[in-house]
Every structure is written in structure tokens, then in C-alpha cells.
Chain A
Amino acid sequence: NAGVTQTPKFQVLKTGQSMTLQCAQDMNHNSMYWYRQDPGMGLRLIYYSASEGTTDKGEVPNGYNVSRLNKREFSLRLESAAPSQTSVYFCASSESGNTIYFGEGSWLTVV
């Protein structure tokens, strides 16, 4: 039972490079989320998708774009990476705002 799968697990980018974090869930959940977590801190919501075909900004959307490709997949794109985007990124899914299930995290370093 895979749950939420996100890739890559580790990535180093140079400032200005672009990349896409991929996320897929196999629990048939309507809602999907992208969070970032800085060292020792809580999670901050970047974007979320309440259902297939919709996306909304969270608390810290600047510098990111998302795509809800279908019900299973929700990708996060950094168009021009900045050192301030160095963080751990978590994808998650839930059934309409109930318990969140998280992926294992993606460690991103921007140099």
C-alpha cells in the first residue's frame, strides 16, 4: 500500500534553475496539499487542491506553481529557484479536510 509517493527525495539546485516535484496518491482522496518545513519549524501550506481541477493558494505560494494533473497527481514547480526555497517539501492528501496522509518528504537545497 503506497499511500502518498513523492519524488525526488533529494535534490540540489543552483539559483535560477527550475524543477518539478512530483506527487501521487493511491487512496482516491479528493484533496491534495504541498507544504514546506524549515528546520525545527511547523509546516506551512504552499498550495492545495480541494478536488480534481481546482487549486488554491496557501500561506506561502510565492515562487511556486502547481498542477492537479488528475485525481491522483499533484505537482509543485519552482520556476526560478532561490536559496530561500531551501526546505523539506511534503506532499499530502486527505478526504476533504479529514486526516492528512503525508509523503516521505523531498529535501531541496538551492545553492
Chain B
Amino acid sequence: TQLLEQSPQFLSIQEGENLTVYCNSSSVFSSLQWYRQEPGEGPVLLVTVVTGGEVKKLKRLTFQFGDARKDSSLHITAAQPGDTGLYLCAGAYSSASKIIFGSGTRLSIRP
């Protein structure tokens, strides 16, 4: 059972479209991180959000942490083929350095 649910699991859209990926849990996290993973490699950090309600922007990517620090979203504006990859959210528990990952969203952007 995955404690951190991501949706959708798969997403294939046309270049130029917008998309949102969601990460939800019943647990409260001290921080939530988003990673992107290419085939054959380890995940690479995109952003960390720490404060409830926090919004961070990274070029065309916008990340939001829910007010209750249980959920997060990743919005991509004007998607490009280079955005193709596996996107993972990860929640950190405050007490013991435990970090769990979501089930992943596999994103494919068609030219």
C-alpha cells in the first residue's frame, strides 16, 4: 500500500498543453520534494517545499504545498518534449528523517 498517492499514473499530452500532477496523503509531512527520473538513472531533485501553502516556480514548473502539508501539486505550463520523464513526489516525516516516495507519474509529451 502506497502511503503517498500520485495521480495520474500516466499522462500523454501534446506539446504546448498544460498539465497538473497531484500528490496526496493522509500524513502530515515536514517537507515535500519533487524529483524527476530518467531511465537508468537515480531521481534528481527539482524542488523542496516546506511551508503549508507555499508556492515555488521553476521556469515553466509551479509547485504548491497544501495548507495542511498533506498534499502537493506540480503544474507544467506549455509542456515540451524535454519534460518527458518519471515525476516522483517524496514526503519527509519530521521526527526521524524517514522519506517515502509516491507511486510516480510517467509523463510523455508528444511533439
Contacts and interface: CB of A to CB of B under 8 A. Distances in A.
A56 B96 contact: yes
B6 A42 contact: yes
A106 B41 CA distance: 10
Contacts of A40: 86, 104, 106
Nearest to B94: A97
Bin chain A's interface residue count: 20 to 34
A74 interface: no
Contacts of B3: 59
A59 B96 contact: no
Contact of B101 (A43, A51, A94, A96): A43
**Residue of B88, B93, B96 ringed by the most chain A CB atoms within 10 A:** B96
A42 B88 contact: yes
Interface of B: 2-3, 6, 30-31, 33, 35, 40-43, 45, 48, 86, 88, 90, 92-94, 96-104, 106
Contacts of B99: 33, 45, 48, 94, 97, 100
Contacts of B103: 41-42
Nearest to A33: B99
